[in-house]
Amino acid sequence: MVPRRTDPPASTWPAEPVSDAPAHEAWRSLFLVIQRLKEFWPSIAAEFDMPMAQMRVLFEVAPIAPVPMTRIADLMACDASNVTGLVDRMEQRGLLERRTDEHDRRIKLIAVTRAGLALRDKISARMAAPPPPIAALSAQEQRALAKALGAVLDAKPVS
């Protein structure tokens, strides 16, 4: 059983507003929204009994499989030694499969099994449903939100 908090999530944001500048207001609002919404990921992961790391592997590897394990370590920004255990567990669950590269026998190519793809699709469908705070908005508010966030996504990356 996953314990459920009985209190509204306390915010990690500094108690005192630091500034009224638009940039701070926008960041503060986004911060608070993320605080409220980011519980959805772990809760969906728990629904499918999938640890977050495995869920990330499943989604990030599927579109580019089969890939060498070093590539996964790179994608996950973690040490290669972790990938061994991660892939071990996912292989035991029948989600992934190790294949040997014919040209370089040091390399193990990781493929997503049919069961892995099926699970990914089920999780996808579950994640695609807008959570209540979004669904509750009017269509106009939803469009305004999508547009405002679109500007964030269009902003050039940190470099």
Partner DNA sequence: TATTGTTATACTCTATAACTATA
Partner DNA sequence: TATAGTTATAGAGTATAACAATA
Q: Which of 70, 84, 100, 124 binds its own copies (CB under 8 A)?
A: 124
Q: Measured from the CB of residue 43, what is the shortest distance to its own copies in angstroms?
A: 10
Nearer to its own copies, 100 or 145 (CB): 145
Contact (Cβ atoms closer than 8 angstroms) between residue 151 and residue 144: no
Nearer to DNA, 36 or 56 (CB): 56
Interaction partner, residue 46 (its own copies, DNA, none; CB < 5-8 Å by kind) = none
Distances in whole angstroms, Cα of residue 49 to Cα of each of 57, 60, 86? 14, 18, 15
* Residue 84 lies near its own copies (rule: CB under 8 A): no
Q: Measured from the CB of residue 51, what is the shortest distance to DNA in angstroms?
A: 3
Name the residue among 58, 126, 42 with its Cα closest to residue 93: 58
Q: How far is CA 136 from the centre of its chain?
A: 23
